[in-house]
Structure 1
Amino acid sequence: MLQIVVDNGNVPLHSSTKVPQTEDTGKTKLMSEVQGIPVLNLDEGRSEQPGTGWVLRRGGRDVPVMTTINEEEAFEDILQFTPEDVKKEVAFWNHSVVCYILGANPSWDVIEDFVFNVWDQFGVDRVSFMDNGIFLVRFKRPEQRDALLNSGYYLFENKPVVVKPWNSDADLVKGDGDIVPVWIRMIGVPLKFWGDCLSSIAGLVGKFVKKDDLTAEKIRLSYARVLVELHMGQALPTMVYFLDEFGNKVEVKVEYEWRPVACVACKGFGHDEH
């Protein structure tokens, strides 16, 4: 046990105080004895009950010195809400969808104009904004929200608008998405393939969704404009090939109105770093 040496002549200790040799040990006392403090025996102070830690025996009582936290007690003093506490707010936002635009972050007033002009028929109640480009659209009734979710794809300046139903556990952060709708222009498609064959040709790029009106009505013939589903980061061919009914090879040029690629430099979407 550590001992602090005190001179019997009551000479104050300082850095130059001589440490007694073996023959002087009878003249030494524990500092605790000099100050009248009972000796703390750590071996006797250790609790015999597991998980309660060290105790200091003082005046016949066990005084905790360090408490070991067990799993059952770890969160007993943390504020916790019940489902009833958040029921009202959850019910309020349950009529909402979470949205963001891949490759764009327009101002609040532009987004608000877009929502009320394009989605007004669904009964929009309000548009709420976050600073990270996410906006929430609340509808007056839940069936109106469901009607929007089932109405197909929406684009903002040819960029996909990601629309997801709100839920109370959702993280309001942008995701990269997985499958996104993209309009493509197929140049050089012979007119005899503008009917049902056009969807198969578009399938060489992605999953066919629909033709635009001018293509479906065969009014604009300089290119066929088709909406397809593409995977983020997939290969984007600029030419596709197929064989006609006589076995002749036909080449079709493909242009993308928005490219589902991530920019390494800015972490945005719709362009590469060049």
Structure 2
Amino acid sequence: MGEGSPSCTPPMGAGLPHAPITQQTNVHQEQQKPSWRSIFDDDLQKKMEILPYLPECRGAKVVKIMEEDTIEEVEYWKHSIVGYLVGKRSYFYHISDFLKRIWKTAGNFKLISLPKGFFMVRFDDENTILQRIHTYQGRPMILKRWDKNVNLEKEILGSVPIWVQLFNLPMHCTGNMSIARVCSQFSKPLYPDEATLARERGGFVKVMVEVDVHDELPEVVNVDIHGIECEVFIEYDWKPQLCRKCNGYNHSEVKCPRLKIRNHPQNGLSNRKGNWFHMHREKV
């Protein structure tokens, strides 16, 4: 190729799109980006579209839930109870295994965990469960009938139900009136267990009693049987050790967590005080 021949190389930029066209193309490509749903097939997309999009809630400072929004859930949970254990919180799966064992005759039920140590149980019929007192490892289980306004706060109880065992009672002193007299010395007697009621145990009697959480519970009660004095020894499945600093259970005032955390709000406790028996009866 000679020096005077025209060059076959096109000038730089010749035949290429101008910069403004490139920008328009990029904008068009941005608008064509697919949504994440489009990567799934149609059947799966239909299964995912369970919840409606409500544009009136978009950006709202306060989202208002309507009464009709809750009808289905209120109907579903209406035969449910909520409960918790007095004292130290236990692992949910331990409580779950225990309740499944003792309530196996109550028919089908669903058990779920709630915040603050509460649990919730849905029954076909909850009335039979609420007709008796339940304990776990000696500690009372507080059960309430569920409704949409139920308060998930643990009450500060003035009294609690516990199991006690009375030893050294002669066989002729194991009837209801004899047991009631001994238990009334330190508590409000409620009822004996099935073995005691059926006279199937000779070594001791077992009784559910209601005790004041502030009382010192005795280990021995002196009794007079037709002029003969003897000692009745008492064993407790669980004692309510109440801390007067925080109204919590299972620790002394010396070991109260509030000594370490000053002015910390009392988590999981309300200011409601009262007798356990009356509160239980009101809820049932």
* SS of equivalent to 1:145: coil
Decide whether aligned partners of structure 1 residues 271 and 220 sit closer, same or farther in structure 2, where only a CA change above 3 A counts. Answer: farther
Equivalent in the alignment of 1:135:
119
1:205 maps to amino acid: F
2:71 maps to amino acid: K
Equivalent in the alignment of 1:109:
93
Quick check: 1:94 aligned with 2:78?
A: yes
Equivalent in the alignment of 1:231:
212
Deviation at 1:218, TM superposition (A): 4.9
Decide whether aligned partners of structure 1 residues 202 and 270 sit closer, same or farther in structure 2, where only a CA change above 3 A counts. Answer: farther
Query: Among 249, 253, 278, which residue is 1:269 paired with?
Result: 249
Equivalent in the alignment of 2:164:
184
Structure 1 residues not aligned, in runs of 5+: 1-76
Deviation string, structure 1 residues 164-213 (Cα, Å, up to 9, x no partner): 11121122122233442211122332333112312222222222223234
Equivalent in the alignment of 1:161:
141
Deviation at 1:129, TM superposition (A): 0.7
Decide whether aligned partners of structure 1 residues 98 and 273 sit closer, same or farther in structure 2, where only a CA change above 3 A counts. Answer: same
Equivalent in the alignment of 1:257:
237
Q: Is the 8 A contact 2:156 2:247 kept in 1?
A: no
* SS of equivalent to 1:114: helix
Alpha-carbon distance in structure 1 between the residues aligned to 2:106 and 2:193: 23
**With structure 1 as the length reference, what TM-score do the two structures score?**
0.60
Q: Percent identity?
A: 27
1:135 maps to amino acid: F
Number of aligned positions between the proteins:
193
Query: Among 181, 185, 188, which residue is 1:200 paired with?
Result: 181
Q: Is the 8 A contact 1:259 1:271 kept in 2?
A: no
Decide whether aligned partners of structure 1 residues 106 and 124 sit closer, same or farther in structure 2, where only a CA change above 3 A counts. Answer: farther
Equivalent in the alignment of 1:173:
153
Deviation string, structure 1 residues 227-270 (Cα, Å, up to 9, x no partner): 21223333422332333223x44432222111123246886425
Deviation at 1:161, TM superposition (A): 1.2
Decide whether aligned partners of structure 1 residues 266 and 179 sit closer, same or farther in structure 2, where only a CA change above 3 A counts. Answer: closer
Q: Is the 8 A contact 1:258 1:270 kept in 2?
A: no
Alpha-carbon distance in structure 1 between the residues aligned to 2:158 and 2:148: 22
Q: Is the 8 A contact 1:95 1:145 kept in 2?
A: yes
2:116 maps to amino acid: N
**With structure 2 as the length reference, what TM-score do the two structures score?**
0.58
Deviation at 1:145, TM superposition (A): 0.8
* SS of equivalent to 1:227: strand
Quick check: 1:147 aligned with 2:128?
A: yes
Structure 2 residues not aligned, in runs of 5+: 1-60, 255-284
Q: Is the 8 A contact 1:102 1:270 kept in 2?
A: no
The structure that has the greater radius of gyration is 1
Deviation string, structure 1 residues 113-172 (Cα, Å, up to 9, x no partner): 122221132234311112421100111x3xx1112111x111111211111111211221
* SS of equivalent to 1:92: helix
Deviation at 1:86, TM superposition (A): 2.4
Over the residues paired in the alignment, what is the CA RMSD in angstroms? 2.8
